[in-house]
Amino acid sequence: MDDALLHAIAGRFGTPTYVYDLDLITRRRRELGRLLPRAALRYAAKANPNGAVLRHLAALGAGAEVITLGELERALRAGVEPPDILVGGPRQDTELVARSSEAGVGLASLDSPDQWRIWRDHAGDVQMLVRVNPGLDPRTHEHLATGAATSKFGLPPAAALELGREVADAGLLAGFHVHAGSMIRDLAVYDAILDVLAPLYDALPGRPLVDLGGGFAVPDFPLEAFARRAQRLAAQLGARLLLEPGRFLVAESGVLLTRVLHVKRDGPTRHVVADAGMAELLRPALYGAVHPIRVVSSGAAAAVASGPEDTLDIDGPLCENADRLGRDRRLPAVAAGTLLAVDEAGAYGFAMASNYASSPRPAEVAVEAGVARLVRRRESVADLWRLEIEPPP
C-alpha cells in the first residue's frame, strides 16, 4: 500500500482508520505453506477477527483457533469449515462447548480437567488436545509469557499426562499442545518444549498431532530456521505439526491511520497529540509494544516529510499519561493535519479497541489488488448508547 493510497483512504473514510493489506496476508499464508507444507494451520482469530480477514484466510485454506462463542460464530460465518476449527482457551463453558459440538468442530484444546468434565457430555467425535504448561522462560514480556510456570494457561507436565490418560481412555486424545508465548524470537525455546513433550508422547504413543501454538515475533521472525526445527520436533514425537499463527499472518498487513490534532513544543518533551491513542491501539499502553510510526508522505505532505526531523512523543487524545502511541520518535516536523501511519497494527489493534472515554471505535478498510473497500463502518456517537436501556419517560 503506497502513501498515495493511504492518503486517499484517509480522505475518503476519515481517521482514525485501520487498513489491512489482504495481498500481504496472502503472501504470509503462502510462505507458511511453502516452508511447512504438512503443517495444519489454525488462524488465531483473536489477532484480528474482522470478517474480511477471516473470509480471506478461509479461502486460502486456513482453519481457525477460537476461544469464545463470538469467535466461533465469526469463523463459521466467514466460511471456515467446522472440522478446521480448534476451540481453545480458559473459557470453554457449557454454552461454548455445546455450540462447538453442535457445529461439528474438529478439535478442542483442554486447559483444565474441569473443561474435560464439560466436554465428556458433549464431545461426540471432537478430538482433544491437552494443553501443557512447560514452565519455561520464553524470553518475552511478562504479559505475553503464556508458557511461564506462573501463567494461567495449561497444566504442568505431570497433571497434563494424567488428564491425557483419561482422555485417551475415552478414545479422544489427539495429542498435546504448548503455546510458549507471544513475540517469541529465541528458537531455543522449542528445544525446551521438546524436552517437556517427549515423555508425554512416550507415555501415550500414537498421537497424531502436536500443537506448538503460534506467537512468532513480528517483524523478522526466523521462519525458515523455525520450520526446520519444528518439523524435526514433530518427527521426533511421531506426530503431525499443528500451528496457530495469528500475529505472523496479519500484523504487518495492518496500518492505523491517524491525524495530528495539536503540537506542543514547549517544555523538555515535544508532544504530538493525534486523534488515535489507547482507545484505538492499546498495545503500547498495555505492554510497552513498539510500533513503527511515520509521516504518510504524499502530495502536500511530501514537503513536510522531507524536512528536518524532531524527537517527538506521539500521544493519544485522552486524559491518561499512558495514552501514547510512541515515545522519543524521530519524525519530520509535523503540524496539525499531518497524516501518520502506525505500522504493524494488523494484530491486536482493532481487536483490543474500546469505547473508553466514550470514543467511537474506528473504521476498518481492506485493500486487495490496490482497491480499497470499507469492511467495518466507523461507530457513530449514537452507537455508544445503542444497547443501553433508557428509563421509562
Catalytic residues: 319
Closest CA to 85 of 133, 43, 57: 43
Three cell numbers written together for 381: 456517537
DSSP code per residue over 211-270: E----B-SS---HHHHHHHHHHHHHHHTSEEEE--SHHHHGGGEEEEEEEEEEE-SSSS-
HSE-up (13 A, CA, CB side) for residue 58: 22
The residues near 378 (Cβ < 8 Å, ≥ 6 apart) are 13, 14, 17, 360, 361, 362, 363
> Cβ contacts of residue 255 below 8 Å, gap of 6+?
1, 6, 18, 19, 21, 341, 342, 343, 345, 346
The span from the CA of 222 to the CA of 231, in Å, is 14
Q: Rounding to the nearest 10 degrees, give the CA dihedral for residues 65, 67, 70, 75.
A: 10
Q: How many CB atoms lie within 10 A of CB 327?
A: 14
Are the CB atoms for 337 and 259 separated by under 8 Å?
A: yes
Place of cell 503500547: 284
The whole-angstrom separation of Cα 245 and Cα 214 is 5
Angle of helix 188-203 relative to helix 223-237, nearest 10 degrees? 20
- SS in 3 state form for 53-122? HHHHHHHCCCEEEECCHHHHHHHHHCCCCHHHEEECCCCCCHHHHHHHHHHCCCEEEECCHHHHHHHCCC
